[in-house]
Amino acid sequence: MLCQSIDRALVRYDLGLIAFVIMPNHVHLLVYPKQQECQIDRFLSAAKRPFSYRIKQLLAQAEDPLLDELMIRDRPGNTTFRFWQEGAGYDRNLSSRKVVEASISYIHLNPVRKGLVDQARDWKWSSARWYESEGQIVDSDLPVISGLSWDFFEAS
């Protein structure tokens, strides 16, 4: 469901997905704008909100006690469902091929550093296998990866 939500948001905000990893407690997305105007905050909201809404529905249908744990008091007398960690996350602009390559490596090695797999390619919820296969392995469960043409930096 999260991957579908990411895909819809990428299309809506005309972004390409370079690399990603979905971890048990966080997500890394490396995206690039396909046009001048870029609204990362709206993209993130468009990816996260529908997913968290669906999770809330599923927890309620199952009468799962986790739903109560994810309800927080946002002000006196009012509670709200909080699936995602509070805050905007961490984003930054990458301006060179070297920095992008380092970021892709960092993203892909997350499951290895956390001891979830021995090699990055073994973590299903990552773009690592796509990179290792030079775009030949496409998994319909995962978001659509655009990659990034390296001449992107030569043009700027």
CATH number at residue 15: 3.30.70.1290
What pLDDT is stored for residue 88 in this prediction?
A: 65
Enter the DSSP assignment of 76.
T
Segments in the chain forming alpha helices (H):
2-12, 40-61, 66-69, 97-113, 128-132, 151-154
Q: How many residues does the chain have?
A: 156
Residue that the structure tokens 């407690």 belong to: 25
* Per-residue model confidence (pLDDT) at position 84: 84
What 8-state DSSP symbol labels residue 22? E
**Confidence (pLDDT) at 93:** 84
Helix 40-61 / helix 2-12 crossing angle, nearest 10 deg? 150
Instruction: Tell me how many domains the chain contains.
Output: 1
- Cα–Cα dist 71/37, whole Å: 35
pLDDT at 27: 93
The CA distance from 82 to 11, in Å, is 26
- Six token digits for residue 16: 């390409």
Report residue 85 CA to chain centroid gap: 14
- Per-residue pLDDT in tens (0 to 9) along the chain, 156 residues: 999 999 999 999 999 999 999 999 899 999 998 887 888 889 988 999 999 899 999 999 999 999 988 888 878 888 888 888 876 677 888 888 899 999 999 999 999 999 999 999 999 999 999 999 888 888 889 999 988 776 766 654
Amino acid (one-letter) located at 73: R
Longest dimension (CA), the chain: 55
Domain with 45, as residue range(s), is 2-154
